[in-house]
Amino acid sequence: MERDSDQQAQARWDMDTAADVTVGDTARARHPQRPLLTRRAVLARAGLGAAALPLAGWLAACGQAASTTRGGSPTSTALTPTPTPDPTATPDTRPLTLVITGDLMLGRSVNQQILASSTAFPFTYTADYLHGFDLTVGNLECVVSTLGQPVPDKPYTFRGDPKGFARLATTGFDVLSVANNHSGDFGKAAFTDMLAHLPQYGITPLGGGRTLAEARQPVIKTVRETTVGFLAYCEIDPFSFAATTTTAGHAWLDPAAMRADILALRPRVDFLIVFTHWGIEYQPQETGHQQAMARLAIDAGADFVVGAHPHVVQPYEIYQGKPIVYSLGNFVFDEMFSADVRRGNVVALTVRKSRLLDWKLRPSFIVGDYGQPQWG
């Protein structure tokens, strides 16, 4: 009889022995009365020589791991299935969207209306828009706390009840500058109390701290593929509100310090924004000093400079291809004596990595219920 071909032998082997050639204890459990076949017997039945198939290959074909010894220690060389990699997620390359408001003053009559209401006041007409951005930023032109007493000899002091924190949070504010001339109106204890409570509502304070080193620390936010950094400074008296090496307060606008902070932050972020509290109240035009400080910031590496404090809108300019908005004016405030102080702007930015894709100013106007803006 002619010898089967390798293919025929393999086929005959498959039919004759498939039920009892499982290697190891499994075969013994199925057919305890049958002795396990040796490799030599298996190959003989299949019409193959003992050298026809390497041991490792035969064992691998039957599901049995081979083992080698390396340096006296057994090392498994079992063939395991290569896991199928998960599909690579498509990166989210949508740009970052950001909105910045002018002054937010939650004291005086605004505070009374917050305490008397359970609505979104003073953001009834603006919350939906502000909440639609990846990051919402503003200047908190007051202290929010139950602590402290008004500082002596200051004609205007603004303090809001902590109920205001929830109104800010539900409106979508992520970052609030405290570098202004009213955040210290009720003393250092009230100021640090506000700093401690803001993060509990998901809001990061900017431009203030328990020491000068903390006050000068940037706020850095990453959304999708874009990282944006913020710095904030105030140059409006009283100077006693400014932080020192050992006392709490805001970051004073010192040109050398601002330049050093920008240079240190620049390599860490894609886009850098400087928020300043400066200028002359109720003056519709920026001063030469404002312009010099803004241009210094751009020259040091800032991508966008935006200001507050004059309580009226001031112009913008483009310097070295970078926008400077000198004053956004009031956003939430109970000053009602003229149309100019009731009018403000918010600035909306669209940024991808280091590129400013778009920016625009949207006007607001404080309506007749003392403090609450609407779009107009």
Per residue in 276-301, pLDDT tens?
999 999 999 999 999 999 999 999 99
| Residue 166 binned pLDDT confidence (cut-offs 50, 70, 90) | very high
Residue 58 has pLDDT above 50, yes or no: no
* pLDDT attached to residue 27: 35
Tell me, letter by letter, the H, E, C secondary structure of the chain: CCCCCHHHHHHHHHHHHCCCCCCCHHHHHHCCCCCCCCHHHHHHHCCCCCCCCCHHHHHHHHCCCCEEEECCEEEECCCCCCCCCCCCCCCCCCCEEEEEEEEECCCHHHHHHHHHCCCCCCCCCCHHHHCCCCEEEEEECCEECCCCCCCCCCCCCCEECCHHHHHHHHHCCCEEECCCCCCCCCHHHHHHHHHHHHHHHCCEEECEECCHHHHCCCEEEEECCEEEEEEEEECCCCHHHECCCCCCEECECCHHHHHHHHHHHHHHCCEEEEEEECCCCCCCCCCHHHHHHHHHHHHHCCCEEEEECCCCEEEEEEECCEEEEEEEEEEECCCCCCHHHHEEEEEEEEEECCEEEEEEEEEEEECCCCCCEEEC
Residue 229 has pLDDT above 90, yes or no: yes
Q: Which domains does the chain have, with CATH numbers?
A: 6-76 (no CATH), 96-375 (3.60.21.10)
* pLDDT attached to residue 84: 64
- Could you tell me which of 249, 88, 267, 255 has the C-alpha nearest to residue 179? 249
pLDDT in tens, 13-57: 344 444 333 333 333 333 334 344 444 443 344 444 444 444 344
pTM, 2 dp:
0.77
pLDDT in tens, 77-132: 445 566 666 667 788 999 999 999 999 999 999 999 999 999 899 999 999 999 99
